[in-house]
Amino acid sequence: MLARLAAVRLQEIRQVFRLAPQTSRSFSTALNYHIDTPDNNPDLPWEFSAANKEKVKEILSHYPSNYKQSAVIPLLDLAQQQQGGWLPVSAMNAVAKVIEVAPIRVYEVATFYSMFNRSPVGKYHLLVCGTTPCMIRGSRDIEDALLKHLGVKRNEVTKDGLFSVGEMECMGCCVNAPMITVADYSNGSEGYTYNYYEDVTPKRVIEIVEILRNGEKLPPGTQNSRRIKSGPEGGNTTLLSDPKPPPSRDLDAC
């Protein structure tokens, strides 16, 4: 009796998610299961392009032949680049065939890492760091400025297909917080780039969007003209020369 009630309830829950807008479960941070749709189901054909098949061989060459499954992450990344920024289930199945594992082993990886997107993204996928240092330095204002300027919600794609905005956890540039990453899928896997833009402001991220919209490129890194990389504004005030050796140690004897 309880098992039958549980099965009925599960069916009701699945029906709710089938009727819900796709944007409500756009990325790997959504519920970690797949529901077939006309543009994302295992019956759709998918294979690596001729150029990427050569890259697949190169990637596999880094691993012992009996450990092909170790290549799952770089192969999923390559598939995502080819697909324009997201992973349909048929692409995951193709990766499973290449590394000779059950498809569920690939699904486990694709649903665990938030860098793998399981629904379409914009040609320029903007990722705002939401971890504590960036949050303290105003990352919420950065995200709000992007969403308002583009007229979308988080994880939605603009009508022209150019932009989407997501959140990312720590990107390792806390000294230059706040920061965003731009994953550029506008030229497929051949021209794919993944660049950091640091020390951004709400005004600057809007300028970055318009630069990308015009097809222009801008140097990655700090957007603060008074800094060099992660150095302090105005230049270094310490460590201006080579450090002196310890006074009580004979370095030549080491």
Annotated binding-site residue? 254: no
Tokens 């349909």 belong to 88
Work out the angle between the directed axes of helices 72-83 and 50-60 (0-180°, nearest 10): 160
First to last CA, the chain: 78
Give, as one character, the DSSP assignment of residue 229.
T
Distances (CA, A) of 40 to 37, 44, 216: 5, 7, 32
Annotated binding-site residue? 173: no
Annotated binding-site residue? 174: yes
d(CA 71, CA 93) in angstroms, rounded, equals 14
The answer to whether the Cα torsion of 97, 100, 104, 110 is positive or negative is: negative
Annotated binding-site residue? 134: yes
d(CA 28, CA 33) in angstroms, rounded, equals 9
H or E segment and range at residue 182: strand 179-184
The tokens describing 204, both together, are: 């600057």
Which residues participate in the annotated binding site for [2Fe-2S] cluster?
129, 134, 170, 174
Which residues participate in the annotated binding site?
129, 134, 170, 174
